[in-house]
Amino acid sequence: MKPITVVRVVLFAAALTPAAALVYGFYRLYYGADFNALTANPGDYITDQTGTWALGCLAASLSVTPLRRLMGWNEIIKARRMLGLFAFFYATLHMLTWVVFIHYFDVSFMIEDVLKRPFITVGMSTFLMLLVLAITSNKFSIRKLGRKWGKLHRLAYVAAAGGTLHFWQLVKADTTEPWRWAAGFALLFAIRVWWAYRPKLSLAAAGQRANVKGRGTQSQPDRLKPT
Amino acid sequence: MLIKQPPDIRSSEITPKSVYLRRREFIQASAAALVAAGLGTLADEAAAQGGGLAKLPNVKKSPLSTTETPSLYQHITSYNNFYEFAPGAGDGPKANSKNFKPRPWKLQIDGLVNKPGNYDIDEFMKPYALEERIYRFRCVEAWSFVIPWVGIPMAEVIKRVEPTSKAAFVEFTTLHDTARFPMQRTDLLEWPYIEGLRLDEAQHPLTLLAVGLYGEVLPAQNGAPIRLVVPWKYGFKGAKSLARIRFVDKQPLNTWQKMARNEYGFYANVNPQVDHPRWSQAREKRLPSFIANHRTEMFNGYADQVQSLYAGMDLRKNF
């Protein structure tokens, strides 16, 4: 197997584990009579878990490009879409817990919630951003949108900010975790900005380095621009 | 020629609003029942109630108890908030309080009273008859339990310590001891945890100083060895692991009001009409449940007993 295939299989399994753990929790609750499998408040527990993993997968997908540069391993980019789609998958489950557990499909309550409560407004906007990103993540869209695709997919950073803000808004006292997410995303964003605006000289040097390592080609400095 | 068409649906065929609202409730209730059926069978299977802690002797039943079925011991003790042990509801408080020692314990009662005292907890409890009070418990985060507390009516304690005429409020303070409460080493909240009641609220027959649960001494995560229970208010009013009860003339600034005054007030009466800024308080999850399966009642269903305390008050302002 090629190294990238191994990485993708491992990441796929890792990203699916939290969902599998929730399914196993249902099994333990209903067939194993394990009361604390999903806590006494399973709705809130599943909401928290899926929300956290949506952020986690988003962070992982945004780490791919910086990693690619640091490692000089271009192929790793092939893992990015999958991680982004996992972020969308968990965000969808997270949103559905709100639809089902909190509002039980009552559309008028949901609309009221979105309009009245800022943390729901932010959460829903973030979900819609991820929806747009997921819909345009296929090869057809990449070809069709051309240069615009890269610009559109910078929305991932806005979604990361939205997700973090959403987390912040719902926390009562313990802001440690939102702080950590904010710091992580800020670091990833800072790396991107630095690469985009660093002096040309070091850009050329990076291309040289890549060449020396034998992983790059002459055209690489171009390809290192933000995608 | 234009012929006026009759409307497609005659007004007599339109479902009246009250009927479709009822239909929606029916659908919700069926879904809730479906979920509850699954979880309910589990509840039946859990025969033994209690955690194997020391039994409390001579507990008498109280007519103030609800007839609703109490929640499972393991749910009450594994899903609750106690920030001194862990942030957030869940089994954190249970897991982090395994080594908690509720003895020796001192309880100080002072302030504007004729008979202040600093008691050993067991000495303090001696003169009082213990009562079982099965109360509804409504968390501000829209979940609820039915809890069989064992405790001492606060009114009897007040009678004994004789508040002076200047006393208007009662302040309840959780023990501040970083050796016993690990989170007190962090700045998660402003320690110690403080709660307060108006004197007449504290004197109300429903107000309880709980020392037990399901006939046994309180487990650490639920506020051992002694905590406040005010069933018509949100759960956070019930300060746990009390070290001090002080009678004062000014309204105490309770911890959650200090943390977020736009979200948590002094009164914190259960009120389905006044939403939390971030969620509705109209319904609640009677745990265990995936969905909000209960309509929240005014004063948590204790309106008949307590609403006179708040006659003429704007409960939207005094939330």
DSSP-derived letter for residue A219 is T
pLDDT band at A85 (very low <50, low <70, confident <90, very high): very high
Question: In chain A, what's the furthest Cα-to-Cα distance?
Answer: 65
Residue environment code for B63-75, b if the CB has 16+ CB neighbours within 10 A, otherwise e? ebbbeeebbbbbb
| Domain presence at residue B22 | no
| Domain presence at residue B121 | yes
Residues of B in contact with A41 (CB under 8 A): 79, 89, 143, 285, 287-289
Amino acid (one-letter) located at A11 = L
CA-nearest residue to A46 within chain B is: B290
Chain B nearest-CA distance from A127, in A, is 18
Q: How far apart are CA B309 and CA B318, in angstroms?
A: 13
Q: What is the CATH number of the domain that holds B232?
A: 3.90.420.10
Work out how many domains chain B is built from and give that number.
Answer: 1
Q: Are B136 and B144 in contact (CB under 8 A)?
A: yes
| Domain presence at residue B205 | yes
Contacts of A51 (CB under 8 A, 6+ apart): A90, A94, A166, A167
Per-residue pLDDT reduced to its tens digit, A182-213: 999 999 999 999 988 887 655 555 555 555 44
Q: How far apart are CA B75 and CA B164, in angstroms?
A: 41
CA-nearest residue to B79 within chain A is: A40
Q: How far apart are CA A176 and CA A11, in angstroms?
A: 27
Chain B nearest-CA distance from A33, in A, is 6
Q: How far apart are CA A198 and CA B108, in angstroms?
A: 65
Count CA within 13 A, CB hemisphere, residue A177.
Answer: 18
**Long-range contacts at B176-180 (CB < 8 A, ≥ 24 apart):** B176/B243, B180/B100, B180/B101
Cβ-in-10-Å burial (0-12, 13-18, 19+) of A152 comes to middle
Which residues of chain B fall below pLDDT 50? 1, 20, 23, 26, 30, 34, 37, 41, 44-47
| Domain presence at residue B31 | no
Residues of A in contact with B81 (CB under 8 A): none
Residues of B in contact with A174 (CB under 8 A): 87-88, 188
Q: How far apart are CA A206 and CA A218, in angstroms?
A: 11
DSSP-derived letter for residue B296 is P
Per-residue pLDDT reduced to its tens digit, A130-141: 999 999 999 999
CA-nearest residue to B276 within chain A is: A117
Average pLDDT over residues A84-93: 98
Q: Which two tokens stand for residue B140?
A: 């501000």
pLDDT band at A216 (very low <50, low <70, confident <90, very high): very low
- Which residues constitute the domain of residue B287? 52-310
